[in-house]
């Protein structure tokens, strides 16, 4: 009988430990609805929450892994990973020593860091025109 009690207590602890992850999953449902219905992109700062290893495991298990992975080089490296749920992305920012500086779950059609600002696209157009002009005589 002691063995049964131990198993029940262990299961209760695992459920309690995953409580933050379950709340995040519910919030992600609403965030996906807002993206679809209102076009609103949003994110959850995982670093601001008291998540346990069990929470991270549950999030990874529930969200799964998608097909897209990207890295952006800036002051440090940023890893972007699509979850198995379209529109839900894991974004991890590292410093120059490869230490995690921030972790987010973004809900968007594509992560903000991968979207080119309009000013940069305009500069790109000017740059392309200049290069095209330079190669016309060849």
Report pTM: 0.78
95, 76 Cβ separation under 8 angstroms: yes
- Give the Cβ contact number of residue 82 at 10 Å: 20
Closest residue by Cα to residue 31 from 73, 87, 71: 87
Residue 9 has pLDDT above 60, yes or no: no
Instruction: Classify domain 2-111 at the CATH topology level.
Output: Ribosomal Protein S8; Chain: A, domain 1 (3.30.1370)
Within the chain, strands assigned E span 42-45, 69-73, 77-82, 88-94, 100-107
Per-residue pLDDT, averaged over 102-117, amounts to 95
Digit-coded pLDDT (tens) for 71-101: 999 889 999 999 999 999 999 999 999 999 9
Query: CA angle, 93 as apex, 36 and 127 as ends, to 5°?
Result: 75
- Check residue 61 and give its pLDDT: 96
Domain boundaries, the chain: 2-111
Q: Give the three-state DSSP class for 95.
A: coil
111, 89 Cβ separation under 8 angstroms: yes
């Amino acid at each position: 009988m002691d063995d049964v009690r131990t198993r029940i207590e262990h299961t209760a602890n695992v459920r309690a430990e995953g409580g933050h992850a379950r709340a995040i999953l519910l919030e992600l449902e609403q965030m996906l609805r807002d993206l679809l219905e209102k076009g609103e992109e949003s994110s959850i700062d995982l670093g601001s929450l008291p998540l346990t290893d069990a929470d991270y495991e549950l999030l990874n298990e529930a969200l799964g892994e998608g097909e897209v992975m990207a890295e952006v080089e800036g002051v440090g490296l940023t890893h972007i990973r699509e979850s198995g749920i379209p529109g839900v992305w894991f974004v991890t920012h590292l410093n120059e020593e490869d230490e995690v500086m921030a972790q987010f779950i973004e809900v968007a059609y594509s992560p903000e860091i991968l979207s080119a600002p309009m000013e940069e696209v305009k500069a790109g157009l000017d740059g392309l025109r200049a290069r095209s002009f330079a190669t016309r005589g060849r």
